[in-house]
Amino acid sequence: MYNPSGTALWARTVTAGFHAYFPAVAVDGNGDIFAAGSQDGTVNYGDGIIATGTGSNSPILVKYVNK
């Protein structure tokens, strides 16, 4: 995530060995970030937000709250 000046504000990575794809990312008026996409298997998106797909290319929506 970058601010309007291009300075990096934060970044997240998924657990190695799993596949996740997020073609859509949006930020709301509060600065909360939403990422929509798909995943295979169980992935930890940080802060303990673990998601498990039921098969190949399971849809997922992840929200990161601006604290």
| 2-30 per-position pLDDT tens digit | 777 878 776 666 555 567 788 999 999 99
Show the domain range for 61.
1-67
| 20-59 per-position pLDDT tens digit | 788 999 999 998 889 898 877 666 666 556 666 666 777 8
Residue 10 confidence (pLDDT): 67
The beta-strand segments (E) located in the chain are 19-27, 33-40, 42-44, 50-52, 58-64
What's the total number of domains in the chain?
Answer: 1
The Cα 65–Cα 67 span in angstroms is: 6
Residue 12 confidence (pLDDT): 63
Residue 55 confidence (pLDDT): 63
